């Protein structure tokens, strides 16, 4: 599913950069990413015996996946502030009007990722943190103090990682948790409507989407295999994937064409995420039917998704600063320049930051131990199925 994840990341990039050709609204792309993340994390936890018995190894591997690239981009943004203070976000510590508590919250959430999503439910009142349901009423909004403002989604992602071993390793627990989280999600959409930030920025309301992805892996995949076994599996896979993707892209247009007025804030995100969760088993099986070369290509493309997402806001700022005059009036060209720069930056991050850590992540994934050259040779000979397919 690497290609799908990267396409979702590029949809967010193009939308944020002002393109009208983004095939899906950015908030919806983020929610679909949550569903895909739930599917993959469930696959990782259940597919790796080390993770099932050693949760610390799971947490360590997730941290090595997220934090090094995040810190690299954060340092780049901090350095950019010193050179181009009008382009990059200002560090909170430089704001003398803030209370110590507000500065501490912003500094810690910038470093730890935890709590960045809270910034959309908090505000500043005479320099002190207060609960603020409408983040635009905070002057200035707290998100302006984050060098990587879109990293609030990582705060939600990390929160899910913390709970994942508790919720996903038992199918009954997963199902009960999903039902409770889905009920909370439906209540939130009915009570708060489709307004930002309540639509997709609060972890408690988004947990159901991660769990929906896990349900897709643990419940839909076995059911789909039984169904596909009765027909020509590859043909069924291709048809299901193609039809579902067409439905996903067109759901908002068909909702308007059919004049869907019942709970409009609930209809579109629910239909999109449910359709996506139903497509994931077919997509997963479809990709597994190809030779190893395709697997490697899909995995390599999928690795671009996270760095593309985390660096694209900086690329928007840099593109505007250096080529803003030239690109004025060329909105689509500007957006695709940003997308190209984000892909290039992603390749650099993978080469310089992620690749050197791959060996360490593989060791943790296969043995549950932190080790370098001193590992037993058996650690490095663990099944290629686990090492090649488990995140």
Check whether 139 has a pLDDT greater than 80.
no
pLDDT bin (cut points 50, 70, 90) of residue 33 is very high
Residue 385's pLDDT is 38
- The size of the chain, in residues, is 391
| Mean pLDDT of the 102-127 span | 90
> Tell me: the pLDDT tens digits for 167-205?
999 999 999 999 999 999 888 877 877 677 887 889 999
CA 237 to each of CA 234, 302, 365: distance values in angstroms, whole numbers, following the listed order: 5, 20, 30
3-state helix, strand, coil in the chain (%, to 5): 75, 0, 20
Residue 384's pLDDT is 38
What is the H or E stretch that residue 387 is in? helix 384-389
Specify burial of residue 288 (Cβ count, 10 A radius: 0-12, 13-18, 19+): exposed
Check whether 347 has a pLDDT greater than 90.
yes
Phi and psi based region of residue 18 (left: phi greater than 0; alpha: psi -120 to 50; beta: remaining): left
Whether the full predicted model's pTM is greater than 0.75, yes or no, is yes
Alpha-carbon torsion, ordered 38, 203, 274, 178, to 10 deg = 70
Residue 317's pLDDT is 85
pLDDT bin (cut points 50, 70, 90) of residue 78 is confident
> Tell me: the pLDDT tens digits for 44-63?
999 999 999 999 999 999 99
In angstroms and rounded to an integer, the radius of gyration of the C-alpha atoms of the chain is 21
Of residues 383 and 143, more confidently modeled: 143
> Tell me: the pLDDT tens digits for 333-343?
889 999 999 99
Q: CA-CA distance, 287 to 356, in Å (whole number)?
A: 27
Residue 20's pLDDT is 80
Q: What is the DSSP string of 217-252?
A: IIIIHHHHHHHHTTS-HHHHHHHHHHHHHHHHHHHH
Check whether 299 has a pLDDT greater than 80.
yes
Q: What is the mean pLDDT of the chain?
A: 82
Q: CA-CA distance, 216 to 276, in Å (whole number)?
A: 9
> Tell me: the pLDDT tens digits for 234-271?
666 677 767 766 666 666 555 555 555 555 556 677 77
Contact criterion met (CB below 8 Å) for 105 and 111: no
Please give the biggest Cα pair distance in the chain: 68
User: Three-state SS for 26?
Assistant: helix
Residue 311's pLDDT is 96
Phi and psi based region of residue 126 (left: phi greater than 0; alpha: psi -120 to 50; beta: remaining): left
């Amino acid at each position: 599913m690497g290609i799908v994840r990267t396409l979702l990341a590029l949809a967010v990039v193009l939308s944020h950069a002002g393109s009208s050709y983004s095939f899906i609204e950015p908030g919806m792309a983020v929610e679909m990413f949550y569903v895909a993340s739930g599917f993959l994390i469930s696959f990782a936890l259940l597919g790796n015996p080390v993770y099932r018995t050693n949760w610390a190894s799971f947490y360590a591997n997730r941290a090595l996946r997220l934090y090094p690239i995040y810190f690299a981009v954060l340092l780049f943004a901090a350095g950019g502030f010193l050179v181009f203070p009008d382009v990059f976000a200002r560090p909170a510590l430089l704001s003398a009007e803030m209370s110590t508590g507000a500065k501490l919250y912003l500094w810690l959430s910038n470093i730890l990722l935890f709590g960045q999503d809270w910034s959309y439910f908090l505000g500043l009142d005479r320099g002190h943190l207060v609960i603020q349901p409408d983040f635009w009423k905070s002057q200035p909004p707290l998100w302006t103090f984050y060098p990587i403002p879109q990293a609030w989604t990582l705060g939600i992602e990390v929160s899910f990682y913390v709970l994942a071993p508790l919720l996903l390793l038992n199918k009954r627990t997963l199902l009960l948790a999903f039902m409770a989280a889905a009920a909370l999600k439906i209540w939130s959409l009915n009570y708060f409507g489709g307004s930002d930030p309540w639509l997709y920025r609060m972890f408690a309301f988004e947990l159901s989407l991660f769990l929906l992805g896990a349900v897709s892996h643990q419940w839909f995949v076995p059911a789909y295999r039984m169904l596909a076994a009765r027909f020509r599996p590859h043909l069924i896979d291709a048809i299901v994937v193609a039809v579902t993707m067409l439905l996903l892209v067109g759901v908002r247009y068909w909702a308007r064409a059919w004049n869907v007025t019942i709970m409009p804030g609930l209809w579109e995100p629910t239909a999109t995420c449910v359709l996506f969760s139903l497509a994931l088993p077919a997509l997963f099986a479809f990709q597994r039917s190809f030779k190893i070369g395709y697997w490697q290509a899909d995995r390599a493309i999928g690795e671009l998704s996270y760095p593309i997402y985390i660096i694209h806001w900086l690329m928007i700022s840099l593109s505007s600063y250096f080529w803003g005059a030239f690109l004025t009036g060329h909105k689509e060209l500007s957006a695709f320049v940003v997308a190209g720069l984000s892909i290039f930056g992603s390749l650099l991050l993978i080469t310089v930051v992620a690749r050197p850590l791959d060996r360490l992540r593989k060791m943790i994934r296969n043995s549950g131990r932190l080790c370098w050259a001193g590992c037993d040779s058996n650690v490095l000979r663990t099944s290629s199925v686990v090492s090649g397919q488990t995140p």
